[in-house]
Amino acid sequence: MRHLNILLASLALAANINSAAGAAKSLAVKATNPLPEARSSQTIELSANDLAPLGQKDLAKIHVRDDAGKEVLCQAVDTDFDAYHRPDVVIFQTDFAPGQTRAFTVLSGARQVYAKAQFKAHGRFVRERFDDFAWENDRVAHRMYGKAVETWAGESLTSSTVDIWSKRVPGMVIDEWYMVDNYHVDAGEGADFYTAGTTRGCGGNGLWAADKLWVSKNFVNSRVLANGPIRILFELVYEAFDVNGSPVAETKRIALDAGQNLSHFLSTYQPQGAASPLTCAIGLKKVVGEHKQFDAGLGWMAIWENMEKKQGMQGLALIVNPKDLLKETGDATNNLLLVKASPANTVSYWAGFAWDKAGLCADEEAWKAYVAQFARGLQSPIAVTVSGE
Protein backbone atom coordinates (compact mmCIF):
# COMPACT_ATOMS: atom_id res chain seq x y z
CA MET A 1 0.00 0.00 0.00
CA ARG A 2 2.87 2.35 0.87
CA HIS A 3 4.41 1.82 -2.58
CA LEU A 4 1.01 2.41 -4.20
CA ASN A 5 0.59 5.73 -2.37
CA ILE A 6 4.09 6.80 -3.43
CA LEU A 7 3.28 5.89 -7.05
CA LEU A 8 -0.01 7.82 -7.00
CA ALA A 9 1.67 10.87 -5.48
CA SER A 10 4.40 10.74 -8.12
CA LEU A 11 1.85 10.50 -10.91
CA ALA A 12 -0.08 13.48 -9.49
CA LEU A 13 3.10 15.53 -9.23
CA ALA A 14 4.03 14.65 -12.79
CA ALA A 15 0.57 15.63 -13.99
CA ASN A 16 0.83 19.00 -12.24
CA ILE A 17 4.28 19.61 -13.71
CA ASN A 18 3.06 18.70 -17.21
CA SER A 19 -0.02 20.89 -16.77
CA ALA A 20 2.09 23.82 -15.60
CA ALA A 21 4.52 23.27 -18.45
CA GLY A 22 1.66 23.32 -20.95
CA ALA A 23 0.12 26.52 -19.61
CA ALA A 24 0.89 29.84 -21.25
CA LYS A 25 2.93 32.21 -19.12
CA SER A 26 0.90 35.14 -20.37
CA LEU A 27 -1.70 36.16 -22.95
CA ALA A 28 -1.58 39.07 -25.38
CA VAL A 29 -4.76 41.13 -25.67
CA LYS A 30 -5.39 43.63 -28.43
CA ALA A 31 -8.37 45.97 -28.22
CA THR A 32 -9.42 48.21 -31.11
CA ASN A 33 -11.79 51.16 -31.19
CA PRO A 34 -13.60 50.91 -34.56
CA LEU A 35 -15.07 54.41 -34.32
CA PRO A 36 -13.40 57.64 -35.52
CA GLU A 37 -13.98 59.26 -32.12
CA ALA A 38 -12.34 59.09 -28.70
CA ARG A 39 -13.93 56.77 -26.15
CA SER A 40 -13.17 56.85 -22.43
CA SER A 41 -13.68 54.24 -19.68
CA GLN A 42 -14.36 51.40 -22.10
CA THR A 43 -14.78 48.03 -20.41
CA ILE A 44 -12.85 45.10 -21.87
CA GLU A 45 -14.29 41.70 -20.96
CA LEU A 46 -12.33 38.44 -21.09
CA SER A 47 -14.17 35.15 -20.68
CA ALA A 48 -12.97 32.08 -18.82
CA ASN A 49 -12.42 30.46 -22.23
CA ASP A 50 -10.23 33.38 -23.31
CA LEU A 51 -8.15 32.93 -20.15
CA ALA A 52 -8.04 29.12 -20.16
CA PRO A 53 -4.52 28.88 -21.73
CA LEU A 54 -3.11 30.39 -18.53
CA GLY A 55 -4.25 27.30 -16.61
CA GLN A 56 -5.57 29.52 -13.78
CA LYS A 57 -9.03 28.48 -12.59
CA ASP A 58 -9.28 31.19 -9.93
CA LEU A 59 -10.00 34.28 -12.00
CA ALA A 60 -9.44 36.49 -8.95
CA LYS A 61 -5.73 35.77 -9.51
CA ILE A 62 -5.71 37.24 -13.02
CA HIS A 63 -3.68 40.42 -13.56
CA VAL A 64 -3.55 42.85 -16.50
CA ARG A 65 -0.67 45.10 -17.57
CA ASP A 66 -0.65 47.80 -20.23
CA ASP A 67 1.96 48.11 -22.97
CA ALA A 68 4.26 50.02 -20.58
CA GLY A 69 4.11 47.17 -18.07
CA LYS A 70 1.92 49.10 -15.62
CA GLU A 71 -0.67 47.14 -13.62
CA VAL A 72 -4.25 47.86 -14.75
CA LEU A 73 -7.13 47.57 -12.30
CA CYS A 74 -9.22 44.50 -13.15
CA GLN A 75 -12.14 42.63 -11.60
CA ALA A 76 -13.31 39.03 -11.72
CA VAL A 77 -17.10 38.87 -12.19
CA ASP A 78 -19.62 36.07 -11.73
CA THR A 79 -22.19 36.55 -14.49
CA ASP A 80 -24.10 33.26 -14.15
CA PHE A 81 -24.55 33.08 -10.35
CA ASP A 82 -23.54 29.43 -10.19
CA ALA A 83 -23.69 27.36 -7.00
CA TYR A 84 -20.13 28.22 -5.98
CA HIS A 85 -20.37 31.88 -7.04
CA ARG A 86 -17.26 31.44 -9.17
CA PRO A 87 -16.26 34.33 -11.45
CA ASP A 88 -16.46 33.52 -15.15
CA VAL A 89 -15.18 36.74 -16.72
CA VAL A 90 -12.48 39.30 -15.98
CA ILE A 91 -13.02 42.97 -16.82
CA PHE A 92 -10.76 46.01 -17.00
CA GLN A 93 -11.07 49.49 -18.49
CA THR A 94 -9.10 51.75 -20.77
CA ASP A 95 -9.44 54.91 -22.88
CA PHE A 96 -9.15 55.02 -26.67
CA ALA A 97 -8.22 57.67 -29.18
CA PRO A 98 -10.15 57.60 -32.49
CA GLY A 99 -9.51 54.27 -34.24
CA GLN A 100 -6.81 53.33 -31.73
CA THR A 101 -5.60 49.79 -30.99
CA ARG A 102 -4.22 49.15 -27.51
CA ALA A 103 -2.18 46.18 -26.29
CA PHE A 104 -2.25 44.47 -22.90
CA THR A 105 -0.64 41.48 -21.23
CA VAL A 106 -2.65 39.11 -19.03
CA LEU A 107 -1.02 36.77 -16.56
CA SER A 108 -1.56 34.91 -13.27
CA GLY A 109 -0.43 36.26 -9.92
CA ALA A 110 -1.49 36.71 -6.34
CA ARG A 111 -5.20 36.90 -5.55
CA GLN A 112 -6.53 40.42 -6.07
CA VAL A 113 -7.04 42.48 -2.91
CA TYR A 114 -8.49 45.97 -3.43
CA ALA A 115 -8.06 49.16 -1.46
CA LYS A 116 -11.13 51.26 -0.64
CA ALA A 117 -9.86 54.09 -2.84
CA GLN A 118 -9.91 51.80 -5.90
CA PHE A 119 -13.67 51.28 -5.81
CA LYS A 120 -15.51 53.13 -8.55
CA ALA A 121 -18.73 51.07 -8.38
CA HIS A 122 -20.71 49.80 -5.42
CA GLY A 123 -24.23 48.76 -4.44
CA ARG A 124 -26.18 47.03 -1.71
CA PHE A 125 -29.53 46.01 -0.29
CA VAL A 126 -30.45 48.54 2.40
CA ARG A 127 -32.64 46.71 4.88
CA GLU A 128 -32.46 49.57 7.40
CA ARG A 129 -34.16 51.88 4.86
CA PHE A 130 -37.17 49.60 4.32
CA ASP A 131 -35.58 47.43 1.63
CA ASP A 132 -34.04 49.93 -0.77
CA PHE A 133 -31.49 48.67 -3.26
CA ALA A 134 -29.00 51.43 -4.03
CA TRP A 135 -26.12 51.47 -6.48
CA GLU A 136 -23.55 53.97 -7.73
CA ASN A 137 -20.34 54.54 -9.62
CA ASP A 138 -17.97 57.49 -9.84
CA ARG A 139 -20.56 59.52 -11.76
CA VAL A 140 -24.14 58.68 -10.74
CA ALA A 141 -26.25 56.93 -8.11
CA HIS A 142 -29.69 55.29 -8.10
CA ARG A 143 -32.06 53.34 -5.90
CA MET A 144 -35.12 51.12 -6.29
CA TYR A 145 -37.71 50.09 -3.75
CA GLY A 146 -38.27 46.81 -1.93
CA LYS A 147 -41.27 45.21 -0.30
CA ALA A 148 -41.02 46.76 3.18
CA VAL A 149 -41.62 50.33 2.02
CA GLU A 150 -45.03 49.35 0.63
CA THR A 151 -46.44 49.17 4.17
CA TRP A 152 -44.18 51.67 5.98
CA ALA A 153 -46.46 54.01 7.92
CA GLY A 154 -43.99 56.88 7.56
CA GLU A 155 -43.86 57.05 3.75
CA SER A 156 -45.42 54.07 2.02
CA LEU A 157 -44.70 53.66 -1.68
CA THR A 158 -45.66 50.94 -4.13
CA SER A 159 -43.52 51.44 -7.21
CA SER A 160 -40.95 49.73 -9.44
CA THR A 161 -39.56 53.10 -10.50
CA VAL A 162 -35.85 53.96 -10.82
CA ASP A 163 -34.90 56.83 -8.51
CA ILE A 164 -32.02 59.29 -8.99
CA TRP A 165 -29.45 60.32 -6.38
CA SER A 166 -27.61 63.37 -7.67
CA LYS A 167 -23.96 63.03 -6.65
CA ARG A 168 -21.13 65.35 -7.71
CA VAL A 169 -18.05 63.62 -6.30
CA PRO A 170 -16.26 60.55 -7.69
CA GLY A 171 -16.06 58.76 -4.34
CA MET A 172 -18.65 56.27 -3.08
CA VAL A 173 -21.38 58.02 -1.06
CA ILE A 174 -24.26 55.55 -0.61
CA ASP A 175 -23.17 54.06 2.70
CA GLU A 176 -22.38 57.44 4.24
CA TRP A 177 -25.62 59.03 3.06
CA TYR A 178 -27.70 56.24 4.56
CA MET A 179 -25.66 56.33 7.77
CA VAL A 180 -26.13 60.08 8.26
CA ASP A 181 -29.77 59.82 7.09
CA ASN A 182 -29.85 63.41 5.84
CA TYR A 183 -29.48 62.83 2.12
CA HIS A 184 -32.05 65.40 1.03
CA VAL A 185 -29.56 68.13 2.00
CA ASP A 186 -26.46 68.79 -0.12
CA ALA A 187 -23.39 68.91 2.14
CA GLY A 188 -21.03 69.22 -0.83
CA GLU A 189 -21.42 65.74 -2.32
CA GLY A 190 -24.93 66.07 -3.77
CA ALA A 191 -28.26 64.80 -2.47
CA ASP A 192 -31.58 63.16 -3.33
CA PHE A 193 -33.33 65.93 -5.27
CA TYR A 194 -35.51 63.71 -7.48
CA THR A 195 -39.06 62.52 -6.88
CA ALA A 196 -39.74 59.38 -8.90
CA GLY A 197 -42.91 58.30 -7.10
CA THR A 198 -45.05 55.93 -9.14
CA THR A 199 -43.71 57.17 -12.48
CA ARG A 200 -41.04 55.22 -14.35
CA GLY A 201 -38.44 57.71 -13.07
CA CYS A 202 -35.13 57.22 -14.87
CA GLY A 203 -35.57 54.03 -16.84
CA GLY A 204 -38.22 52.09 -14.99
CA ASN A 205 -40.14 49.67 -17.19
CA GLY A 206 -43.40 47.77 -17.50
CA LEU A 207 -45.39 45.92 -20.12
CA TRP A 208 -47.67 47.49 -22.71
CA ALA A 209 -51.01 45.90 -23.55
CA ALA A 210 -54.39 47.23 -24.65
CA ASP A 211 -52.74 50.65 -25.18
CA LYS A 212 -51.89 50.85 -21.49
CA LEU A 213 -48.84 50.59 -19.23
CA TRP A 214 -48.90 47.72 -16.72
CA VAL A 215 -46.29 47.78 -13.94
CA SER A 216 -45.12 45.55 -11.12
CA LYS A 217 -45.05 46.31 -7.42
CA ASN A 218 -41.80 46.59 -5.45
CA PHE A 219 -39.10 43.93 -5.70
CA VAL A 220 -39.31 41.03 -3.23
CA ASN A 221 -35.78 39.62 -3.43
CA SER A 222 -32.31 40.74 -4.46
CA ARG A 223 -28.89 39.22 -5.03
CA VAL A 224 -25.50 40.73 -5.80
CA LEU A 225 -23.32 39.03 -8.41
CA ALA A 226 -20.42 41.51 -8.45
CA ASN A 227 -19.65 44.53 -6.32
CA GLY A 228 -16.76 46.59 -7.63
CA PRO A 229 -14.25 47.95 -7.95
CA ILE A 230 -15.23 48.39 -11.62
CA ARG A 231 -18.73 46.91 -11.96
CA ILE A 232 -21.77 46.56 -9.74
CA LEU A 233 -24.02 43.73 -10.99
CA PHE A 234 -27.19 42.63 -9.21
CA GLU A 235 -30.66 41.17 -9.72
CA LEU A 236 -34.07 42.18 -8.42
CA VAL A 237 -37.00 39.75 -8.36
CA TYR A 238 -40.61 40.88 -8.84
CA GLU A 239 -43.72 38.86 -8.11
CA ALA A 240 -46.22 38.28 -10.91
CA PHE A 241 -48.27 41.36 -11.76
CA ASP A 242 -51.39 41.75 -13.87
CA VAL A 243 -50.91 42.50 -17.56
CA ASN A 244 -54.36 42.91 -19.06
CA GLY A 245 -55.66 39.82 -17.25
CA SER A 246 -52.50 37.70 -17.45
CA PRO A 247 -49.97 37.38 -14.59
CA VAL A 248 -46.32 37.99 -15.51
CA ALA A 249 -43.32 37.76 -13.14
CA GLU A 250 -40.03 39.54 -13.77
CA THR A 251 -36.34 39.44 -12.86
CA LYS A 252 -34.26 42.54 -13.52
CA ARG A 253 -30.48 42.27 -13.91
CA ILE A 254 -28.79 45.66 -13.57
CA ALA A 255 -25.15 46.54 -14.20
CA LEU A 256 -23.24 49.80 -13.90
CA ASP A 257 -19.56 50.18 -14.82
CA ALA A 258 -17.16 52.86 -13.66
CA GLY A 259 -16.96 55.99 -15.80
CA GLN A 260 -20.43 55.59 -17.33
CA ASN A 261 -23.63 57.58 -16.80
CA LEU A 262 -25.95 54.81 -17.99
CA SER A 263 -26.80 51.49 -16.32
CA HIS A 264 -27.62 48.38 -18.30
CA PHE A 265 -31.00 46.76 -17.57
CA LEU A 266 -31.91 43.23 -18.64
CA SER A 267 -35.48 42.19 -17.81
CA THR A 268 -36.50 38.56 -18.04
CA TYR A 269 -40.25 38.02 -17.94
CA GLN A 270 -42.04 34.82 -16.90
CA PRO A 271 -45.60 34.80 -18.27
CA GLN A 272 -47.73 32.46 -16.16
CA GLY A 273 -50.02 30.71 -18.58
CA ALA A 274 -50.70 31.50 -22.20
CA ALA A 275 -49.38 34.89 -23.24
CA SER A 276 -49.08 36.70 -26.54
CA PRO A 277 -45.71 38.21 -27.56
CA LEU A 278 -44.72 40.75 -24.94
CA THR A 279 -44.17 44.46 -25.56
CA CYS A 280 -42.04 46.29 -23.01
CA ALA A 281 -42.52 49.98 -22.20
CA ILE A 282 -39.48 51.80 -20.83
CA GLY A 283 -39.92 55.27 -19.43
CA LEU A 284 -38.61 58.61 -18.27
CA LYS A 285 -40.78 60.73 -15.98
CA LYS A 286 -42.45 63.70 -17.66
CA VAL A 287 -41.46 67.12 -16.32
CA VAL A 288 -43.05 70.46 -17.20
CA GLY A 289 -40.81 72.40 -19.59
CA GLU A 290 -38.59 69.44 -20.50
CA HIS A 291 -36.70 69.37 -23.80
CA LYS A 292 -37.01 65.92 -25.39
CA GLN A 293 -35.09 64.51 -28.36
CA PHE A 294 -35.54 61.15 -30.04
CA ASP A 295 -33.38 59.26 -32.55
CA ALA A 296 -35.09 56.15 -33.90
CA GLY A 297 -32.07 55.15 -35.99
CA LEU A 298 -29.81 54.83 -32.95
CA GLY A 299 -32.63 53.94 -30.54
CA TRP A 300 -32.25 56.74 -28.00
CA MET A 301 -34.43 59.25 -26.21
CA ALA A 302 -32.85 62.11 -24.26
CA ILE A 303 -34.41 64.76 -22.03
CA TRP A 304 -32.96 67.96 -20.58
CA GLU A 305 -34.95 69.43 -17.70
CA ASN A 306 -35.01 71.70 -14.68
CA MET A 307 -34.32 69.87 -11.44
CA GLU A 308 -36.58 70.11 -8.44
CA LYS A 309 -35.80 72.65 -5.69
CA LYS A 310 -33.86 74.81 -8.19
CA GLN A 311 -30.82 72.56 -8.03
CA GLY A 312 -29.73 73.11 -11.62
CA MET A 313 -30.34 71.10 -14.77
CA GLN A 314 -30.20 67.43 -15.51
CA GLY A 315 -30.36 65.13 -18.50
CA LEU A 316 -32.04 61.72 -18.59
CA ALA A 317 -31.78 59.12 -21.35
CA LEU A 318 -32.89 55.74 -22.61
CA ILE A 319 -31.13 53.64 -25.25
CA VAL A 320 -32.65 50.52 -26.79
CA ASN A 321 -31.70 48.27 -29.68
CA PRO A 322 -33.22 50.08 -32.68
CA LYS A 323 -34.03 46.69 -34.24
CA ASP A 324 -36.40 46.01 -31.34
CA LEU A 325 -37.89 49.52 -31.17
CA LEU A 326 -41.60 49.67 -32.03
CA LYS A 327 -42.38 53.31 -31.37
CA GLU A 328 -42.10 56.31 -29.09
CA THR A 329 -45.22 57.09 -27.07
CA GLY A 330 -46.26 58.15 -23.58
CA ASP A 331 -48.95 58.27 -20.94
CA ALA A 332 -49.99 60.90 -18.42
CA THR A 333 -46.74 60.78 -16.43
CA ASN A 334 -44.12 59.10 -18.62
CA ASN A 335 -42.27 59.43 -21.91
CA LEU A 336 -42.06 55.86 -23.22
CA LEU A 337 -40.21 53.73 -25.72
CA LEU A 338 -41.99 50.52 -26.72
CA VAL A 339 -39.78 47.57 -27.62
CA LYS A 340 -40.58 43.99 -28.49
CA ALA A 341 -39.33 41.29 -26.16
CA SER A 342 -37.11 38.51 -27.50
CA PRO A 343 -38.51 34.99 -28.06
CA ALA A 344 -37.08 34.19 -24.60
CA ASN A 345 -39.10 37.11 -23.14
CA THR A 346 -36.07 39.28 -22.39
CA VAL A 347 -35.59 43.00 -22.95
CA SER A 348 -32.22 44.78 -22.84
CA TYR A 349 -31.78 48.55 -22.57
CA TRP A 350 -29.67 51.34 -21.04
CA ALA A 351 -30.82 54.22 -18.86
CA GLY A 352 -29.17 56.97 -16.87
CA PHE A 353 -28.70 60.65 -16.20
CA ALA A 354 -26.28 63.56 -15.75
CA TRP A 355 -26.40 66.57 -13.42
CA ASP A 356 -24.87 69.81 -14.63
CA LYS A 357 -23.39 70.53 -11.17
CA ALA A 358 -21.40 67.27 -11.35
CA GLY A 359 -19.28 68.95 -14.03
CA LEU A 360 -19.53 66.16 -16.64
CA CYS A 361 -22.34 67.44 -18.92
CA ALA A 362 -22.66 71.19 -18.62
CA ASP A 363 -25.58 71.72 -20.99
CA GLU A 364 -28.17 70.10 -23.23
CA GLU A 365 -25.90 69.80 -26.25
CA ALA A 366 -23.21 68.06 -24.22
CA TRP A 367 -25.78 65.58 -22.88
CA LYS A 368 -27.19 64.88 -26.34
CA ALA A 369 -23.66 64.32 -27.67
CA TYR A 370 -22.86 61.92 -24.81
CA VAL A 371 -26.02 59.87 -25.36
CA ALA A 372 -25.55 59.71 -29.12
CA GLN A 373 -21.93 58.60 -28.73
CA PHE A 374 -22.94 55.97 -26.17
CA ALA A 375 -25.52 54.61 -28.63
CA ARG A 376 -22.97 54.52 -31.46
CA GLY A 377 -20.60 52.67 -29.15
CA LEU A 378 -23.21 49.99 -28.46
CA GLN A 379 -23.51 49.40 -32.20
CA SER A 380 -19.72 49.41 -32.68
CA PRO A 381 -18.23 47.70 -29.61
CA ILE A 382 -14.51 47.52 -28.90
CA ALA A 383 -13.01 44.61 -30.90
CA VAL A 384 -10.90 42.31 -28.69
CA THR A 385 -8.51 39.52 -29.67
CA VAL A 386 -6.62 37.21 -27.28
CA SER A 387 -3.56 35.10 -28.13
CA GLY A 388 -0.88 33.14 -26.26
CA GLU A 389 2.63 34.51 -25.76
Distance CA 117, CA 237 (A): 31
* Residue 248 banded pLDDT, cuts 50, 70, 90: very high
Percent of the chain with pLDDT over 70: 93
Of all helices (H) and strands (E), which one includes residue 5?
A: helix 2-22
Distance CA 374, CA 318 (A): 11
Cis bond upstream, residue 229 (ω within 30) = yes
Task: Please give the average per-residue pLDDT across 267-287, as a whole number.
Answer: 91
Distance CA 102, CA 90 (A): 17
Burial class (CB in 10 A: 0-12, 13-18, 19+), 273: exposed
| pLDDT at residue 208, rounded to an integer | 96
Of all helices (H) and strands (E), which one includes residue 250?
A: strand 246-257
| pLDDT at residue 17, rounded to an integer | 36
Q: Is the pLDDT of residue 21 over 80?
A: no
The alpha carbon of 211 is separated from its chain's Cα centroid by a whole number of angstroms, namely: 30
* Residue 389 banded pLDDT, cuts 50, 70, 90: low
| pLDDT at residue 301, rounded to an integer | 98
CATH of domain 22-113: 2.60.40.1180
Distance CA 123, CA 143 (A): 9
Task: Please give the average per-residue pLDDT across 189-211, as a whole number.
Answer: 96
* Residue 2 banded pLDDT, cuts 50, 70, 90: very low
The alpha carbon of 242 is separated from its chain's Cα centroid by a whole number of angstroms, namely: 27
Which amino acid type is present at position 105? T
Among 88, 78, 80, residue whose Cα is nearest residue 46? 88
| Region of poorest pLDDT, from 75-79, 91-95, 270-274, 285-289 | 270-274
Distance CA 27, CA 51 (A): 8
| pLDDT at residue 6, rounded to an integer | 39
Task: Please give the average per-residue pLDDT across 173-198, as a whole number.
Answer: 94
Strand, helix or coil at 267? Answer: strand
Q: Is the pLDDT of residue 61 over 70?
A: yes
Distance CA 145, CA 154 (A): 15
Q: Which residues contact residue 266 at a Cβ distance below 8 angstroms, ignoring those fewer than 6 apart?
A: 252, 253, 254, 346, 347, 348
Q: What is the DSSP letter of 322?
A: T
The residue extents of the domains of the chain are 22-113, 118-358
| pLDDT at residue 24, rounded to an integer | 80
Which amino acid type is present at position 175? D
Tell me if the domain spanning 118-358 has CATH number 3.30.110: no
324-376 pLDDT, tens digit per residue, is: 999 999 999 999 999 999 999 999 999 999 999 998 899 999 999 999 999 99
- The answer to whether 241 and 221 are in contact (CB under 8 A) is no
278-288 pLDDT, tens digit per residue, is: 999 999 999 99
- The answer to whether 6 and 38 are in contact (CB under 8 A) is no
Burial class (CB in 10 A: 0-12, 13-18, 19+), 288: exposed
Question: Model-level pTM?
Answer: 0.92
- The answer to whether 43 and 231 are in contact (CB under 8 A) is yes
Q: Which one is predicted more confidently, 388 or 128?
A: 128
* Residue 82 banded pLDDT, cuts 50, 70, 90: confident
91-143 pLDDT, tens digit per residue, is: 999 999 999 999 999 999 999 999 999 999 999 999 999 999 999 999 999 99
Q: Which residues contact residue 169 at a Cβ distance below 8 angstroms, ignoring those fewer than 6 apart?
A: 188, 189, 190
Dihedral through CA 279, CA 285, CA 288, CA 291, nearest 10?
-70
Mean pLDDT of the chain: 92
23-53 pLDDT, tens digit per residue, is: 789 999 999 999 999 999 999 999 999 999 9
Distance CA 304, CA 306 (A): 7
| pLDDT at residue 237, rounded to an integer | 98
